[in-house]
Structure 1
Amino acid sequence: MTRSRRAVAGLVLLALVFALVFAGPVVSPWSWDGTDFAAFRAGPSAEHWLGTTESGRDVFAVTLRGARTSLLIGLAVAVISTGIAAAVGTVAGYAGGRLDRTLMWGVDLLIVLPPFLVVVLLAPRLDGGAPLLVPLLAAFMWMITARMVRALSASLRDREYVLAARFLGVGAPRVIVRHVLPQLASLLVVDASLNVSVAIVAESGLSYLGLGVRPPDVSLGTLIADGHGAAAASPWPFGFAAGLLVLIVLAVSLLGDGLRDVLDPTSGGAR
């Protein structure tokens, strides 16, 4: 990883973000759901480091809570979507035949569905908030990767070591796990890392529109939506949340691009 400056920069930025998000509430004098009834939309002070919201909540504490929610959603969506892509793609590519055609037909059907429209229609009916938002987002983020994994798995199916394992009577699941998936590790790692930023942006957009995380919980999207109307007079609630969102997406994107350079030198070479 040290061969790629972008990977190192992304990893350092992401580590700093995680340290701030998870360690910040420990040193903050206010909890994210606490209310100061003597300070509504107050400016930064020794008591409230970044001021307060219009409802009297500490901006520093509530924004770190929102960033943690967005990060956890992004990580969960990335893991689930990449896992589905790996499972469907490897099974289709290795098995071939009718199973391959059936799985790819299902993938093609999902690809042509407009994901934003489906999410907008389903999200208002999901009263569970973040726990149900994660599988909904993950359901529309794995199809392209599954097709790539399927093509690579089909090419690996005729490799000598795979044929040798099959001739020795090794079952298909074991061959996939021990001989196919390790060859796809670089693709899956990069895909998962880039999916984190995509999922965070998608969640923030839905939450901004009121279709994502529901009160009393918060995310970066809900905080940006709450603060943008008064951003000119009280910029701290909007600015801190928007700045953290940009920083998280930048860090994850740098890390993903750097990992692609390191794990797949043919994509552009290590830097």
Structure 2
Amino acid sequence: MLDEMPAPDATAVITDVVHSAKPVSRLRLVMARLRSTPRFWVGIIGLGAIILWAIFGLVPNAWNYTDLDIYNMGSSPSRLHWFGTSDIGEDIYAQTIVGLRKSLIIGLLVGPLAAIVAGVVGAVAGYLGGWWDRVIVWVIDLLLVLPSLFLFILLSPIFKQLSWVALIFLLAGFGWMIMARVIRAQTRSLRERDFIKAARFMGVDTWTIIRRHVLPNVSSLLIIDATLGVGAAILSETTLSFFGFGIQAPDVSLGTLLAAGQSAAATRPWLFIFPAAILVFTVLSASLVGDALRDAVDPTSGVNRD
């Protein structure tokens, strides 16, 4: 009886399996890749821990960053001062947390802000083309060849009179050009897609097409750029503050702490080691998250890394 039953058609079986399988969205696919990436977990746990420490780290500490302990000036780490004190009795632990807060705020604002500028400028240049494209590309190329460090030095007297918030816009203003070129190239290919042509044929205005169709399709690149930009912005701010062109006293950042402790790195290493270790850990954690996110969106960018 069984021998008389017709054998199932292989093509029909494959078709049934394909149609029965639920389509996997791009977001779920990216999240699945992230969950299987060890460096993503290392980076996100490290970054989360450093943010929580920056928020709540002063709670168990008895000293404010402006307090002076005249009886323990230049003392090494102890139960009273966990990271030691400076030459005038400042608590290095409290100053490190306050400096970390300032650096984190700058990094977490500069990265997304620069990505937004890159997305808008690149999408406008790539979609409109013509003289819009030529002018925007000329501006991007000009900003890329300008020595940004020298401009920061020249503008530092002006920013000394302003709030440190001005440094956020300055760093974001020089951190969007490369990604803008990438977004421009992606947009030039997107504008020839059928759904963009259909929107134009239906009379949808240019800015609506860019907002609803172009930017969502390049959002993964912008998210990666914003994530990687956080670590880069923290490092840039620290460098500027280290050389005296960024955060100015009485404000504190990791850069000002490193600048204050570099001369005593050999004799009183706690003045330099603790801020430097926190800086390396923060930038490394943010870079690991951005690197894992980039590989999850584009698996060909990091083949056989893990």
TMscore range, shorter length: over 0.9
Aligned to 1:182: 216
Give the counterpart of 1:150 among 168, 181, 184.
184
Matches of 1:178 and 1:4, distance apart in 2: 31
1:63 aligned onto 2:96: yes
Deviation at 1:269, TM superposition (A): 4.4
Give the counterpart of 1:51 among 78, 84, 88.
84
Q: Is the 8 A contact 1:261 1:268 kept in 2?
A: yes
Matches of 2:171 and 2:88, distance apart in 1: 30
Question: Which sections of structure 2, spanning at least 5 residues, go unmatched?
Answer: 1-33
Deviation at 1:5, TM superposition (A): 1.6
Deviation at 1:3, TM superposition (A): 2.5
Matches of 2:223 and 2:88, distance apart in 1: 41
Aligned to 2:118: 85
Aligned to 1:225: 259
Give the counterpart of 1:101 among 130, 134, 137.
134
Aligned to 2:300: 266
Matches of 2:157 and 2:87, distance apart in 1: 26
Aligned to 2:66: 33
Letter in 1 for 2:90: R
Letter in 2 for 1:238: F
1:189-248 CA distances to partner (integer Å, 9 max, x unpaired)? 111111111111111111111111011111101001101111222211211100000001
* SS in structure 1 of the partner of residue 59 of structure 2: helix
Structure 1 residue ranges (4+ consecutive) displaced by more than 2 angstroms after TM superposition = 268-271
Matches of 1:95 and 1:238, distance apart in 2: 51
* SS in structure 2 of the partner of residue 116 of structure 1: helix
* Root-mean-square deviation (Å): 1.3
Pairing of 1:199-218 with structure 2 (within 5 A): 199-218=233-252
Matches of 2:269 and 2:302, distance apart in 1: 41
Q: Is the 8 A contact 1:89 1:150 kept in 2?
A: yes
Indicate the larger mover: 19-28 or 246-255: 19-28
Deviation at 1:185, TM superposition (A): 1.4
Deviation at 1:129, TM superposition (A): 4.5
1:57-104 CA distances to partner (integer Å, 9 max, x unpaired)? 111111011011111111211122111111100011111111111111
Aligned to 1:140: 174
Question: Which sections of structure 1, spanning at least 5 residues, go unmatched?
Answer: none
1:168 aligned onto 2:202: yes
Query: CA 1:171 to 1:269, structure 2 compared with 1: closer, same or farther past 3 Å?
Result: farther
1:243 aligned onto 2:290: no
Matches of 2:280 and 2:268, distance apart in 1: 19
Matches of 1:259 and 1:17, distance apart in 2: 19
Letter in 2 for 1:147: R
Whose relative contact order is higher, 1 or 2, with alpha carbons under 8 Å and at least 6 apart?
Answer: 1
Aligned to 2:24: none
Give the counterpart of 2:109 among 60, 66, 76.
76
Query: CA 1:165 to 1:269, structure 2 compared with 1: closer, same or farther past 3 Å?
Result: farther
Aligned length: 271
Letter in 2 for 1:162: I
Deviation at 1:120, TM superposition (A): 1.2
Matches of 2:262 and 2:46, distance apart in 1: 26
